[in-house]
């Protein structure tokens, strides 16, 4: 459920690496329960911006709060209140399903009894009970991605950051994954997601498109298509990203 409460507030946030301005005075707000699509070409500055919002990189200037915590001074609080998942890194392949759940839940400081309870619900929900003692590397990719997402929100964070969660996944699993995203958002978890699949941009409540370190466009998919006189988000993206001057990363 979307509410009016702002959970991410970004005001002229900037990150410089020497002379290079990776993220140039970006500003936006994200509300609770919103599915916020964060798009941009390779090298546009998405990863830098995401790292600052996750408390992993201190900004050069500007202001931002995530779940009410300051990105300069309260990075540890931010980390406790967010979940994170990417296609490149999610679960430990050499641990079993159960061990992975226990490990992540433990890191987020959940009690043993809470972990036990959550574990049971989660395994049933994902229909993974029969595989609880299997090594994660033996699971099909689709199951891994769904498990990784569930683990990222196990501690009921305010916000979950998803960095290209569906890359390389088959079309059926990709859609099942988005169902999990909808369910999480319905529970009030804010979803901040990047993707290279433009049809997935349509599933977001609002979409921002970064070009050369700045946010070039930010609106609902319907309004963006209207503004850019485009029939699909793919066209909107191409119109904006084609103007990029910066070499892709």
Partner 1 sequence: MNAITVDHIVKTYGSKKQVLTALDDISFEVKKGELFGIIGPDGAGKTSLFRILTTLLLAEGGTATVDGYDVVKDYKQIRKSVGYMPGKFSLYQDLSVEENLEFFATIFNTSIDQNYDLIKDIYVQIEPFKKRRAGKLSGGMKQKLALCCALIHKPSVLFLDEPTTGVDAVSRKEFWDMLKDLKKQGITILVSTPYMDEAAMCDRVALIQSGKIMSIETPENIVKEFEGELWAVRSADMYRLLNDLKQYKYTESCNSFGEYHHLLLTKNQGGKEGVLKYLNELSHKNILLEHTAPNIEDRFMQLMKNT
Residues near partner 1, by CB under 8 A:
40-43, 138, 140-141, 164, 167-173, 175, 178, 182, 186, 196-199, 201-203, 221-222, 232-234, 237-238, 241-242, 244, 247-249
Please state the closest distance from residue 64 (CB atom) to partner 1, in A: 25
**Residue recorded with tokens 């490149």:** 88
Query: What are the tokens at 35?
Result: 């599915």
Please state the closest distance from residue 160 (CB atom) to partner 1, in A: 17
Do 63 and 140 form a contact (C-beta atoms < 8 A)? Answer: no
Please state the closest distance from residue 39 (CB atom) to partner 1, in A: 9
Please state the closest distance from residue 16 (CB atom) to partner 1, in A: 18
Q: Which is nearer to partner 1, 126 or 238 (CB)?
A: 238
Please state the closest distance from residue 11 (CB atom) to partner 1, in A: 27
Q: Which is nearer to partner 1, 93 or 170 (CB)?
A: 170
Cα Rg of the chain, angstroms? 18
Query: What are the tokens at 174?
Result: 């990709």
Please state the closest distance from residue 87 (CB atom) to partner 1, in A: 8
Q: Do the bridges between strand 190-194 and strand 35-40 make them parallel or antiparallel, or are there none, so unpaired?
A: parallel
Q: Which is nearer to partner 1, 109 or 247 (CB)?
A: 247
Do 115 and 106 form a contact (C-beta atoms < 8 A)? Answer: yes
Q: Which is nearer to partner 1, 111 or 227 (CB)?
A: 227
* Cα-Cα-Cα-Cα dihedral sign, residues 102, 104, 109, 115: negative
Name the nearest CA neighbour of 11 among 31, 25, 30, 32. Answer: 25
Q: Where are the beta strands (DSSP E) in 71-198?
A: 82-86, 159-163, 190-194
Q: Which is nearer to partner 1, 95 or 230 (CB)?
A: 230
Q: Which is nearer to partner 1, 156 or 164 (CB)?
A: 164
Q: According to DSSP H, which parts of 3-66 are helical?
A: 46-53
Name the nearest CA neighbour of 145 among 112, 179, 191, 117. Answer: 179
Please state the closest distance from residue 191 (CB atom) to partner 1, in A: 13
Do 35 and 185 form a contact (C-beta atoms < 8 A)? Answer: yes
Q: Which is nearer to partner 1, 21 or 201 (CB)?
A: 201
Give dist(CA 203, CA 219) in Å, integer.
13
């Amino acid at each position: 459920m979307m509410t009016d409460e702002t959970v991410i507030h970004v005001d002229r946030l900037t990150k410089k690496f020497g002379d290079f301005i990776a993220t140039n005075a970006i500003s936006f707000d994200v509300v609770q329960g919103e599915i916020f699509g964060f798009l941009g070409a390779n090298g546009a500055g998405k990863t830098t911006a995401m790292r600052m919002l996750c408390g992993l990189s201190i900004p050069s200037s500007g202001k931002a709060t995530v779940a009410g915590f300051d990105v300069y001074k309260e990075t540890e609080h931010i980390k406790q209140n967010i979940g994170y998942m990417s296609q490149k890194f999610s679960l430990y392949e050499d641990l079993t399903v159960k061990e992975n759940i226990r490990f992540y839940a433990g890191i987020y400081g959940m009690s043993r009894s809470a972990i036990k309870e959550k574990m049971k619900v989660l395994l049933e929900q994902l229909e993974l009970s029969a595989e609880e003692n299997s090594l994660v590397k033996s699971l099909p990719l689709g199951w891994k991605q769904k498990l990784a997402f569930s683990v990222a929100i196990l501690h009921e964070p305010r916000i979950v950051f998803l960095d290209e969660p569906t890359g390389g996944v088959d079309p059926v699993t990709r859609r099942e994954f988005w169902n999990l995203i909808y369910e999480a958002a319905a529970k009030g978890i804010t979803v901040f997601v990047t993707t290279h699949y433009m049809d997935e941009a349509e599933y977001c409540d609002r979409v921002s498109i970064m070009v050369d370190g700045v946010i070039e466009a930010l609106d609902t998919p319907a309004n963006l298509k209207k503004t850019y006189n485009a029939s699909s988000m793919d066209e909107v993206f191409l119109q904006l990203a084609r103007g990029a001057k910066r070499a892709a990363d």
